[in-house]
Chains A and B, each alone.
Chain A
Amino acid sequence: MDVGFSSLRSEAVGAVRTAMVSAENLQLTLKAELSQEEQALTHIRSNPKEAHKAGNEDLKEMLESSKESLKLEAMKRIVGLIAKGKNASELFPAVVKNVASKNIEDPNQFIRASALRVLSSIRVPIIVPIMMLAIKEAAADLSPYVRKTSAHAIQKLFSLDADQKEQLIEVIEKLLKDKSTLVAGSVVMAFEEVCPDRIDLIHKNYRKLCNLLVDVEEWGQVVIISMLTRYARTQFTSPWKEGAMFDENNEKAFYESDSEEKKGHTEEKPYIMDPDHRLLLRNTKPLLQSRNTAVVMSVAQLYWHLAPKHEVSIVTKSLVRLLRSHREVQYIVLQNIATMSIQRKGMFEPFMKSFYVRSTDATHIKTLKLEILTNLANEANISTILREFQTYVKSQDKAFAAATIQAIGRCATNISEVTDTCLNGLVLLLSNRDETVVAESVVVIKKLLQTQPTQHSEIIKHMAKLFDNITVPMARASILWLIGEYCERVPKIAPDVLRKMAKSFTAEEDIVKLQTVNLAAKLYLTNSKQTKLLTQYILNLGKYDQNYDIRDRTRFIRQLIVPSEKSGALNKYARRILLAPKPAPVLESSFKDRDRFQLGTLSHSLNSKATGYQELSDWPAVAPDQSVRNVEIIEASGSDSEEESSESEKTSSDSGKSSSGSEQSSSESELEQKKKKKTKKVPQKKSKPTAADRYSEIPAVCWSLRASFFFPVTTSSFGPVKTYELLHHMTGKGLAAKYHFPRQPCLYQPSMVAVQVILSNSSDHSLEEIHIGDRSPASLSIHCFNTIERLEPEASVTVSMGIDFSDSTQAANFQLCTKEDQFSVSIQPAVGELLMPSSMTEQDFCKEQGKLQGMNETSATITMETANASSQAISKQVLSVANVGVVSSSQNNFSRFAGRTVSSGALVLVSLELKESSTALLTINTEKTVMASMLLRDIKQALTQA
């Protein structure tokens, strides 16, 4: 009997799923057009011989029947009808009533959910009431999956009948209280669609949403994060109001904030971040590591719009990572970086090279990268960028080459040091073979000359000479304008150019004609003796031109410059009008105004307001009541306990209606679960990992933070990296150097140890030509870093070098030189850094150890600090002093490590046998006995101290 029942059940499921497809197609048949979907169905299911009976009465009867099998048969036949494109809409109510709505009460949650999906997919006004009922019922369902479906249905009903808004908001309000991660994303989506302005509904759920966030499915995360961004901007005060300190464009202030904060701004009323604001920032941060690019982007925009300025840069790495993704992802991410990099160069400057263009990039990707590189240009990096641009100018993609020229122009105006270099470079491009390149260069030169009108007559002359060979109208027009504007600097050439133009006037493009008229007018005013006749000739030609703009302009110019009785007052000022000093054009980024849109949005991408775009409000001057977010369950006494309350709210399931505990129950046993639920609380402890396991815990502490607080760095390396001083800035006349061992194989030579040196300039002038000079002993083999041409004040740079220590701890002495000075420095390696980890099995280890007995073995009994007694702690301590690999061990009281010396590749085996009461036998086997004793000392020291 049981078997029979379950088979019937599974057929019913099938029917529902078929109905789902059919429901959609039922309405499609109302349209004359046969959609692709139907065609597909027809293709597969149609049976051309079966004729369509006049009435569908029999089908209706079958649907009304109480037998499942008859209903199923009826549904199959209906699908058949639809597949043939027959109108089956009259059967609609019967289907809804008997199939879909019945299934809404099915004990199987999957069937209930599917039934609701079917029902809500029917976009026919008659069923609005039924749908409303079904949604309300489903919203109170025990299964979170069904509740999720009801959240989806809300949007469908709303688009069908907007009058239901009020009722739907009630359902949304109820579902927002839901504690299931499954529901959260969907209900927020419904909220965004139906009532995005009802921010009051969020208050009570704010903390819960923040806490659930990491566990919500990825698509829901995007929706919730974007909603919370808007919410936060209405509820919290600005974290940016540190006076002028955090002015958006003030990069210096940004870097110095730490020290100056303490000195200068202590007397100001400190800004204290609302703990809820901090909660949101903390809980979204781990999502930067999501594999979903949309999630990463949404967290990045949240930080951009909500985080204190100095914290925003934690998103940089993740955004740069996204550039490895698909082309389309790159496009969107680059657009956002372009907007960000205008305001915050510092964020992306270290990653400048990630924006270098490849010849295989799509044109729009290239242009965006170029845009970003231009935004990042500053005095320090401009030479690198210009060198890179030189490659781009030669690109086969001419549109891109032209964009590069524009970019060079922008760099030239923004950074005055390189204006002349850029200008000369552009002039050279004027003899380029490609017309687009020449034209673009002319246009850019024109703009540049305008910003620097002095002593550039040579360039203007040069351009006048090239004029005959240039055919691109925009370029010709630009040259004419330049000659006209600065005609007094080229008094000989200007009239001659005008003469040529008079000859070719009729054949020119409109834009060139307009500039010719302009040039004629300006010359008439400055040099009427030579050009009076020419001007009159040109004005006459213009008077009868086909284009009305040119006729207009000609008439206007004639009135202005040629004195007559009518012209009157204006005529006196003609010179001042035409030859007025003109403000130089500002060459600026096309992403300049993009920041009016929220980052990551469609509107931002299009640079125009998309339908349904929700404006991000300004921070309120005074924070609205914070207590609205308190949850009533526990009497909130202070913010600390509030935090806890929302925490406990998350973990403890209240035994009421909602059933977060039953989430993982399989659908079949759900009925039993229901009974259980009524009598007792479902214990929350699960063997499976919970969210808290997967992501960092949310501390119950309330963060009241000053701006000087720096966010912990996301990716602090495992184990502390010890940094040693190489050169103090006092002895180095401003040059300071530190080094550490990155413990990676050295690229130059396997026998070398890799060393990273961080050079920084703490003087007030830039240091030049930093390089490595003489070394001692002379035989010491060092792979030097490339000479650093220039290190700006306050800047620092990390370089890699390789040193062959020949497996001895003897110091490597060498000279660190700048252009003026030489400083003797030395790197003395700890013995543990002369090793490379080696992976081997326990058997191999024992075998090798057997070979290295006698004088090759050094051992000592040590007494360890109790905190170090666990095998994990031992590993940590040993690895901190020596670059060795852990050998997996089957014995609990043994810890083994293996490595090889970098230079000669001799094995170094470290084993530690734990004895009673935290004593241990430390043994080192290696043929390098000197190293063994030193290593023994170092490890012993590490393990005996806390």
Chain B
Amino acid sequence: MIHSLFLINHSGDIFLEKHWKSVISRSVCDYFFEVKEKAVDPENVPPVLQTPHHYLISIYRGKLFFLSVVQTEVPPLFVIEFLHRVADTFQDYFGECSEGVIKDNLVTVYELLEEMLDNGFPLATESNVLKEMIRPPNILRSVVNTLTGGSNVGDTLPTGQLSNVPWRRAGVKYTNNEAYFDVVEEIDAILDKSGTTVFAEIQGVVEACVRLTGMPDLTLSFMNPRLLDDMSFHPCVRFKRWESERVLSFIPPDGNFTLMTYHVSSQNLVAIPVYVKQNINFFETGSCGRLDITIGPKQNMGKTVEGLMVTIHMPKVVLSANLTATQGNYTYDLTTKVLVWDIGKLNPQKLPNLRGSLSMQAGAPKPEENPSLNIDLKIQQLAISGLKVSRLDMYGEKYKPFKGVKYLTKAGKFQVRT
């Protein structure tokens, strides 16, 4: 299925290649480079390309292109999903997924790639299983390995690979048994000029960090499961119990994992935590413009809005910005034309305001469209949909674990049209 993988950095150098079948010359990437040249933005490169003898399927993650070569019909999502898994695995192992880190851990990277695919077909992609076979790097071990000539490769078949709970390894032991759940919700919204909601929905995810001894069987129930409209689960969740009782019943993987993602019905109204008053004007003459933005709290259920940030992609003709912010700092990147206003905490008594003038290239026509504002924000201890975890029960083990739930609301793709 997947024939080869090339890792390509931002400037177009191939810095790693791996072939699972025969070797394919890296010149195959030329077709890709050709398309990449034409695209203004790396994000604009289509993920699927056709060359005379091969098909190229690529993803763009962390300023790197993961380019895979396939020779025959294969579902493109299969390859894309796999490539993202590879990137996830790198992130998991090395803390980040960047050129430098990959080059530093070349041996482990090759070992991982070898284990993840056999003859182009995914073999082991479950992080728990991989970690038992190939240990993540740490300083002590790499010193020992250099001295003894050992490797990071484990020598037994991971137990998970054969059991019917492949995501959990056997014999887990902790002195402190704890289970934490983070309910994180993102608001995706488009607001129009007048502040009316054009489109809004809530996407949520339940991230778990479970460190429990043995084989615990957990049941997580919600106060108001009716809110959830569509969800996807980690393979550990028993689907049948969810269907009949609306509780999440599962034997958790060890460590961090995503338990479920959900969507809150778009029929329900979505609370928009802030309002934005904005006025951006470009004048016909004098090559300048004015900008005036104020942000205030709206439906935030009495919680404080934090981490507030406004990002604006200015039209190309805007040369510089001369603004004053009553709160926070702003930066204007001249090359990318991105204006970022980092506000921080929203104080309802004294609303943050950013105003001033924009200077434009002399003689250039005034931009037709005002740039839209992208808003970032955070609200601690609140799930904006109103979802609440009511209880967590553990069966199968005797000890009493520590249980914790945290809520967080963030802005997802939150855009204000101007």
Contact = CB atoms under 8 A, between A and B. Distances in A.
Interface of A: 10, 13-14, 17-18, 20-21, 28, 31, 33, 35-37, 40, 43-44, 108-110, 113, 117, 120-121, 123, 144-145, 149, 152, 155-156, 159, 181-182, 186, 189, 215, 217-219, 222, 226, 286, 289-294, 296-298, 317-318, 320-321, 324, 326-329, 331-333, 351, 353-354, 356, 358-360, 362-364, 388, 391, 394-396, 432-434, 600-603, 605-606, 608, 610-614, 663-667, 686, 688-697, 715, 717-719, 721, 742-745, 747-748, 750, 756, 798, 800, 837, 839, 885-886, 888
Contact of A37 (B110, B240, B374): B110
Interface in B322-344: none
Contacts, number: 308
B339 to A, nearest CB: 14
Contact of B390 (A108, A156, A395, A839): A839
Nearest to B264: A744
Given A359-B313, A433-B368, A696-B239, A219 B268 contact: no
Given A321-B230, A614-B73, A697-B240, A433 B365 contact: yes
B98 interface: no
Contacts of B377: none
Given A294-B81, A359-B415, A664-B163, A606 B48 contact: yes
Nearest to B370: A394
Given A289-B231, A396-B369, 6 more contacts: A152-B123, A688-B164, A696-B239, A747-B269, A837-B223, A885-B223
Interface in B247-304: 251, 258, 261, 263, 266-271, 299, 301
Contacts of A697: 240
A745 B301 contact: yes
Nearest to A16: B155
B21 to A, nearest CB: 7
B369 A395 contact: yes
Interface stretch (B38-46, B89-97, B176-184, B349-357): B38-46
Contacts of B320: none
Contacts of A395: 369
A554 B367 CA distance: 43
B401 interface: no
Contact of B268 (A394, A717, A742, A837): A742
B50 A324 contact: no
Contact of B162 (A43, A145, A613, A745): A145
A610 B119 contact: no
A219 B114 CA distance: 16
24 contacts: A14-B151, A36-B16, A36-B18, A44-B107, A110-B157, A152-B118, A217-B122, A218-B235, A219-B121, A219-B125, A289-B233, A291-B261, A294-B77, A318-B230, A328-B47, A329-B84, A358-B415, A362-B44, A396-B315, A694-B235, A694-B238, A695-B238, A696-B239, A756-B267
A191 to B, nearest CB: 13
Interface string B143-180: 00000001101011101011111100000000000000
A217 B157 CA distance: 17
B345 interface: no
Listed residue (A149, A215, A222, A613) with the most chain B CB atoms within 10 angstroms of its CB:
A222
Given A364-B44, A696-B240, A217 B166 contact: yes
B28 interface: no
Contacts of A750: 301
A815 B277 CA distance: 34
A17 B155 CA distance: 9
Nearest to B258: A291
Contacts of A388: 198
Contact of A885 (B50, B118, B390): B390
How large, as a class, is the contact surface on chain B? Answer: 35 or more
A902 B12 CA distance: 60
A17 B114 CA distance: 10
Nearest to A301: B75
B106 A159 contact: no
Contact of A744 (B161, B235, B386): B386
Interface string B386-401: 1010110000000000
B385 interface: yes
B234 interface: yes
Given A182-B162, A358-B190, A602 B73 contact: yes
A886 to B, nearest CB: 6
A331 B240 contact: no
Contacts of A144: 162
Given A35-B19, A286-B239, A353-B199, A332 B224 contact: no
Contacts of A356: 190, 198-199
B162 A31 contact: no
A36 B24 CA distance: 12
Listed residue (B41, B77, B155, B386) with the most chain A CB atoms within 10 angstroms of its CB:
B77
A359 B217 CA distance: 45
A109 B155 CA distance: 11
B361 interface: no
A43 B267 CA distance: 59
Contact of B240 (A298, A663, A664, A695): A695
Contacts of B310: none
B75 A226 contact: yes
B33 interface: no
B59 interface: yes
B55 A744 contact: no
B75 A600 contact: yes
Listed residue (B21, B73, B266) with the most chain A CB atoms within 10 angstroms of its CB:
B73
Contacts of B18: 36-37
Contacts of A690: 164
Contacts of B269: 747, 800
Contacts of A17: 151, 153, 155
B131 interface: no
A611 B417 CA distance: 45
B71 interface: yes
B70 interface: yes
B139 interface: no
Nearest to A317: B230
A391 B73 contact: no
A108 to B, nearest CB: 8
Given A145-B157, A294-B78, A719 B44 contact: no
Nearest to B368: A394
The 5 closest A-B CB pairs, nearest first, are A612-B72, A718-B246, A110-B157, A394-B369, A13-B155
B22 A20 contact: no
B141 to A, nearest CB: 15
B23 interface: yes
Interface in B303-327: 313, 315-316
Interface in B21-74: 21-23, 41, 43-44, 46-48, 50, 55, 58-61, 70-74
A180 B266 CA distance: 41
Contacts of A747: 269-271, 299
Listed residue (B199, B239, B245) with the most chain A CB atoms within 10 angstroms of its CB:
B239
Given A219-B122, A663-B163, A321 B232 contact: yes
B10 interface: no
Contacts of A289: 231-233, 239
A18 B114 CA distance: 12
Contact of A329 (B77, B155, B313, B385): B77
A686 B84 CA distance: 34
Given A36-B17, A327-B43, A612-B72, A717 B388 contact: no
B232 A744 contact: no
B122 A329 contact: no
Contacts of A217: 122, 166
B203 interface: yes
B237 interface: yes
A398 B55 CA distance: 29
A663 B121 contact: no
B220 interface: no
B110 A40 contact: yes
Contacts of A110: 155-157
